[in-house]
Amino acid sequence: MLIAIFLAIGTLCLVLQTTLLHGLPAWMGQPDLLFLLIVFAATHLDLFRGAVLSLLLGLLMDIFSGIFLGLYPLTYLLVFFVLKGSTRHLAFTDTLHQIPLIVISYLFANAAIYIITTVLAPEAVLSWGWGNMFQQVIIMSVTCIPCCSIFRWLQTRMTPGGNSSFLSLGSRPSNRFKG
Amino acid sequence: MRKKGKRTRQLKALFLFGLILTLVLMLIVSTVGRQEFNTPHKLALEVLGRAQSGASSVGGFFKTFWHNYSTLIGIREENERLKEELRKYKAATTRYREAVATNVRLTKLLELKETLPPPTLTAQIIGKDPSQWFKTLIIDRGSSDGVENGMPAVTVEGIVGQVVNTSPHYAKLLLANDPNSALDAVIQKSRIQGIIKGNGNDFDLYYVLKNAEVAQGDEVVTSGLGTVFPKGLMIGTVTNVTKNRRGMFQNITVTPAVDFSQLEQVIIVMKKASLAE
């Protein structure tokens, strides 16, 4: 059920990214909402659900972007497993803590796309623009705060006995030493 | 002493009687007589007139205040009504302008369609690539409309790209400025051939020898080779020519004729079914 709901949200994000967000002014960039969902899945969902969700979202992204089928499922799964492994013992569940995680993982994902595309089509010369990349990173950092709050709110709503507070920006995990 | 007190009382009563009689007589005389205010009338009027004047001023103030207030309410309502009308007219004007712009655009597309080898199909762009690495578009025509992979897409300004994936009702276009796109081109004036490749924003014209005469402002069109794009379609204009010391070829940058960020509709040039099929 959780996967279905997050898949529906991912589809909605993708539709927004391919239509309405293109109408934003150039200086605002185009926030990659789908990528935020992948990062959220890596830090908040269990291994099986997160991997399935990343795979499905990657397949969806393949339809609307690029010409190499399989590029996005591969990249998203790679990002998911790297994040899952690296944040296993770290407290990255707080929204504000996720900002550096999103910045690093976004650069990692783009590097992966760049390398894979260069391998698949050596004749295609992709240009890595740092200016554009920094702009995207800033946009993603700003966008992740409301987006992750919404995702977490939805997750807690779907989880039995979860806290249904929407503004969980500064919320902390429950005291494990209590009682 | 008793007589004196009695006499005084009689004189007082007489005086009072005389006074009342005098007043009554004055009243009768003034009523029946000249019909003019006497002094007491005038005095009373002066006093009461001032009070009336004050009361009227206060009443007038409140009346004017209420009138202004009620008028203001009316003006506010009228203002709202006029604003609403203005909004309606503005919306109508916008619709009208949009209709005129669409008409102009479609007329140009129709003119272009007549110059292209038939059959052609007009498609609406419904989505754009969300990533920064690729340049693709989603259009509202698919395999059920006869759209197939490899079919070229053009506009009045020039070439747009080609179809790379299809579903029954939608298709994905690879834009000509995508780094994975390449097509045969020719410089219109000098007929020098080369390969146009996208670099994400503009085009690069490859494989033009150093001894070929290429200048800024030269127009580049499709060569017709490769059988994907019809011959003679506008690609763009040469904006930069560099000749390196090493190598056989020139570095030529071509600015696209089409503004890829403003695309709304494209024409798909359909392939004719061959006799062998």
Answer yes or no: are the C-beta atoms of A62 and A73 closer than 8 Å.
yes
User: What is the domain count for chain B?
Assistant: 2
Please return the burial class of B199, using the count of CB atoms within 10 Å of its CB with bins 0-12, 13-18 and 19+: middle
Instruction: Name the A residues in 33-62 with CB < 8 Å from any B CB.
Output: 34, 61
Same domain, B156 and B193: yes
Same domain, B105 and B138: no
Backbone angles phi, psi at A22, to 5 degrees: -70, -20
CB contacts of A67 in chain B (<8 Å) are 134, 136, 164-165, 174, 178, 180
Asked which of B61, B80, B115 is the last residue of a domain, the reply is B115
B236 assigned to some structural domain: yes
User: Which residue range(s) make up the domain with B101?
Assistant: 38-115
B12 assigned to some structural domain: no
A141 assigned to some structural domain: yes
Closest CA to A64 of B200, B127, B162: B127
Separation CA B220–CA B234 (nearest Å): 6
The percentage of residues in chain B with a pLDDT greater than 90, rounded to a whole number, is: 12
* CA angle centred on A100, ends A99 and A105, rounded to 5°: 100
| Cβ distance of B131 and A66 shorter than 8 Å | yes
Question: Which of A63, A64, A126 faces B179 most closely, judged by CB atoms?
Answer: A126
Supply the ipTM of this predicted assembly: 0.76
B20 assigned to some structural domain: no
Same domain, B106 and B125: no
Q: Looking at per-residue confidence, does A93 or B207 come out higher?
A: B207
A11 assigned to some structural domain: yes
Which 8-state DSSP code applies to residue A46?
A: -
pLDDT at residue B236 greater than cutoff 70: yes
Identify the pLDDT of residue B37.
59
Distance from B70 to chain A by nearest Cα, in Å?
46
Answer yes or no: are the C-beta atoms of B240 and B218 closer than 8 Å.
no
Same domain, B160 and B189: yes
Backbone angles phi, psi at B213, to 5 degrees: -85, 105
Residue A119, chain B, CB below 8 Å: the answer is no
User: Which residue range(s) make up the domain with A125?
Assistant: 2-158
Transcribe A128-174 into DSSP letters. --HHHHHHHHHHHHHHHHHHHHHHHHHHHHHSTT----S--TT----
CB contacts of A61 in chain B (<8 Å) are 130-131
**CATH number for position A24:** 1.10.1760
> Which of the residues B125, B126, B134 would you substitute to probe the A interface, choosing the one with the greatest number of A C-beta atoms within 10 Å?
B134
* Residue found under tokens 């890595």: A128
Identify the pLDDT of residue B153.
92
Least confident of A141-150, B22-31, B62-71, B243-252: B22-31
Q: Looking at per-residue confidence, does A69 or A108 come out higher?
A: A108
